[in-house]
Amino acid sequence: MREDRNCQWRVARRPDGNVVAADFQYTEEDIPFPGDGEFLLKTYYINLAPVMRMYMGGEAIAGEVPLAIGDVIHGRAVAEIIESRHPDYQVGDFVHGQCGWQTYKVSKGTKQEKFRKLPDLDISYSAALGALGMTGFSAYFGFVDCGRPQAGDIVVVSGAAGGVGSQVIQIARLKGCHVIGIAGGPGKCELIRSLGCDETIDYKTGNIAEKLAAACPDGIDLYFDNVGGETLTAVLENLRMHSRIVLCGSISEYLLDKPFGLSNYTRLRRTNTTMQGFFVYNHVDDFDRAEHDMSKWLQSGQLRPVEHIFDGFAALPDALASLYTGTNHGIALVRIRRGPNDNEE
Amino acid sequence: MREDRNCQWRVARRPDGNVVAADFQYTEEDIPFPGDGEFLLKTYYINLAPVMRMYMGGEAIAGEVPLAIGDVIHGRAVAEIIESRHPDYQVGDFVHGQCGWQTYKVSKGTKQEKFRKLPDLDISYSAALGALGMTGFSAYFGFVDCGRPQAGDIVVVSGAAGGVGSQVIQIARLKGCHVIGIAGGPGKCELIRSLGCDETIDYKTGNIAEKLAAACPDGIDLYFDNVGGETLTAVLENLRMHSRIVLCGSISEYLLDKPFGLSNYTRLRRTNTTMQGFFVYNHVDDFDRAEHDMSKWLQSGQLRPVEHIFDGFAALPDALASLYTGTNHGIALVRIRRGPNDNEE
């Protein structure tokens, strides 16, 4: 006899533009029992990322199984193992990985789900979806490995108040770079300045190309791109010799009716600039290094988590929509239940 | 008293689309006399490159002074020093550098003109505009330094029958790569096959994206781009992990009414692909290495020059137009007069 129920959010229909309530279907079912070689997970936090709207659209993306109408939506979570018939997963262990938008899950611990145990640190479990999870690892591998920052580099980060961006700007400071953050609105600009940006650009007022040229009179050494579109276009007009562009996301393009066309990509030529894309799971063999460095910076206080926490399982659809309206800051999380190490707020 | 005259082609008006006869003005003047610290050059070959149409359009590009209406058009040439009052340039020396579209030039040997002496090799002087000049150096630095080829790489080269492309495919073979060349029409495809392409794609028949996917079922490791546009777009859909794209030219875009927009550049992400631009003069400190390697390959017969020679100074305007109509192959040169080492044809 189980007291609780497994709550789930499923794909009701394919989103057209940003997600709206009617795109989601709420269901409940009995909490499943793990069979041989399986274990039962209880979710604490679910991370929101732009890729989830694409999952809902049925796209085969980010290595996940394409979703049919009626499927539970994909999403990474921090979860506790509360029952186990699997030798590698013990009751009481906390992991992060693919749990989906649900409050419980039975798993076989497949490679596809990419479970990873939480490091034994005295920090909020939410960090496993932030600095010590895929968001933080994206910041780490994209900026450090792909961007190859040097002390003194002029670094520009777009989406600087977002989940990845808020960590990139802090790592850039750690590496001795001069950091220019781009964000929307005075509140976010104040946030990123408090995280260490030397200069901030509010893309919501005035012309981004003019502001960028003014902020970087000698050009840009390294651009970390979370937004694509007009901002990337403006950056391409302000490059320094041997500069690097790292493509992480392009949130300004995702809701456009027709694909954005990058008309000035040939600007990469005159400065011998490299534009590199990356996907965090391409770095899976190096996850331990990222976790080690990010943990060290978290514990020393050099890296501050920036979390936008929505409370309760019911908040998931609105939290996802917020990614596209620019109303959240830092990493967007839904807290299903509070973890033992969590700060009281 | 001088017997000859200095013939010149000047900008009559800004080109609209491809160049036409009325865009050019032919003039003659007396051959100038070099002053103190100057020398007189007599041109043998002038190289044609797409950049020259942009010069005529008044663009400040490739480090050259923007042209006004009435100016002699920029162009690199092989020339003999026939009079000298400059200590570093001796009568009888052959150089290549910025001479402009004229049969004689007085020069101070400025940095801007980028003169370089021809190596002492028993090969046609035209090679100094091909394998041993900026065309060859573009192939060398773009492919070897930026592309970082590995033996066994699946390499795709567009504009493979052109000046740079015809050398890139040969260097790719030297490096042990599997080479797929893209060119327009059966004649060019036969040419590039004779230069060592394992496979050829005729972009003029059928769908380039489908042909590319069929030719590279496991994806592309290294793409050397001379054309941009739809070909680059198709390549971006067929990338292998850690692949590289080298941007050298985008000739398919130069005559478009509105800029081409690269709509799928974000494909660089899932395979951690780098797209790097380069400009040959950014590698000026390494020119000796390029000349050494290219000379060695030329002399061993591993690298075959592919020249499309137009005869006579009068041919310059038509020769430039031919770059955009795809009627030439290899490097496009105008021979003003035959050099001592030239093959008789």
Structure ipTM: 0.92
* Architecture category of domain A135-281 in CATH: 3-Layer(aba) Sandwich (3.40)
- Mean per-residue pLDDT, A1-5: 76
Of residues A26 and B1, the one with the higher pLDDT is: A26
Nearest to A278 among B146, B228, B269 (CB): B269
The CATH 3.40.50.720 domain(s) of chain A lie at 135-281
- Cross-strand partners of A179: A155
User: B339 Cβ partners below 8 Å, 6+ apart?
Assistant: B44, B45, B78, B94, B124, B125, B126
Alpha helices in chain B (DSSP H): 51-56, 134-140, 165-174, 186-194, 208-215, 229-236, 287-300, 316-325
Query: What backbone phi and psi angles, to 5 degrees, belong to B286?
Result: -110, 10
Mutate to test the interface with A, among B246, B270, B271, B273 (most CBs of A within 10 A): B270
Kindly report the nearest CA distance between residue B289 and chain A, in angstroms.
Answer: 18
| CATH code given to domain A6-130+305-335 | 3.90.180.10
Q: Do A274 and B273 touch (CB under 8 A)?
A: no
Residues with Cβ within 8 Å of B107's Cβ and at least 6 positions away in sequence, in order, are B34, B38, B39, B40, B41, B99, B113, B115
Residue B148 forms contact with A (CB below 8 Å): no
- Which residues of B are less than 8 Å from A241 in CB distance? 282
- Residues ≥6 apart with Cβ < 8 Å to B224: B142, B143, B147, B155, B156, B157, B158, B165, B168, B172, B246, B248
Residues of chain B with CATH 3.40.50.720: 138-281
For A268, name the nearest residue in chain B, comparing CA atoms only: B277
Checking if the pLDDT of B64 tops 60, the result is yes
> How many contacts, defined by CB atoms under 8 Å, are there between A and B?
93
CATH architecture of B138-281: 3-Layer(aba) Sandwich (3.40)
Indicate whether A220 pLDDT > 60: yes
pLDDT digits (tens, 9 = 90+) for A159-176: 999 999 999 999 999 999
At residue A177 the predicted structure's pLDDT band, cuts being 50, 70 and 90, is: very high
- Whole-angstrom Cα distance, residue B109 to residue B19? 30
pLDDT tens, position by position, B280-295: 999 999 999 999 999 9
What is the SS3 assignment for A175?
coil
Angstroms from A274 CA to nearest CA on chain B: 4
Residues A99, A44: contact at Cβ < 8 Å? no
Contact B268 A276 (CB under 8 A): yes
Write A108-115 long-range contacts (CB < 8 A, 24+): A108/A37, A108/A38, A109/A39, A112/A63, A112/A64, A112/A65, A114/A281, A114/A284, A115/A89
Backbone φ and ψ of A286, nearest 5°: -110, 10
Task: State the DSSP code for B118.
Answer: P
Instruction: Report the C-alpha gap between B88 and B115 in whole angstroms.
Output: 11
Span(s) in chain B for CATH 3.90.180.10:
6-130+305-335
Of residues B197, B196, B200, B251, the one with CA closest to residue B226: B251
Over the stretch A246-272, which tens digit does the pLDDT of each residue have?
Answer: 999 998 888 888 889 999 999 999 999
Q: What is the pLDDT of residues A290-341, one digit of tens each?
A: 999 999 999 999 999 999 999 999 999 999 999 888 888 999 999 998 876 6
Are A163 and A330 within 8 A, CB to CB?
yes
**Cβ separation B271–A250 shorter than 8 A:** no
CA gap B248, B237 in Å, rounded: 19
User: Pick from B263, B269, B276: which is nearest to A261 by CB?
Assistant: B263
β-pair partners for B176: none
pLDDT at B326 over 90: no
Mean pLDDT within A214-221: 96
Cα separation, B13 vs B43, in Å, equals 25
Residue B120: per-residue pLDDT: 84
Res A104: pLDDT:
97
User: Chain B window 222-261: which residues touch A at a Cβ cutoff of 8 Å?
Assistant: 228, 241, 247-248, 250, 253, 259-261
Q: Kind and range of the H or E element at B45?
A: strand B39-47
Nearest CB to B263; choose among A259, A268, A271:
A259
Mean pLDDT of B290-319: 95
pLDDT given at position B124:
85
Amino acid letter, residue A191: L
State whether B261 and A263 contact (CB < 8 Å): yes
Q: Can you tell me the distance from the alpha carbon of A21 to that of A140, in angstroms, rounded to the nearest whole number?
A: 34
Q: Dump the DSSP string for A186-235.
A: HHHHHHHHHTT-SEEEETTSS-HHHHHHHH-TT-EEEEEESS-HHHHHHH
Tell me the shortest Cα–Cα distance from B203 to chain A, in angstroms.
Answer: 21
**Are B262 and A265 within 8 A, CB to CB?**
yes
CB-nearest to A241 from B269, B270, B282 is: B282
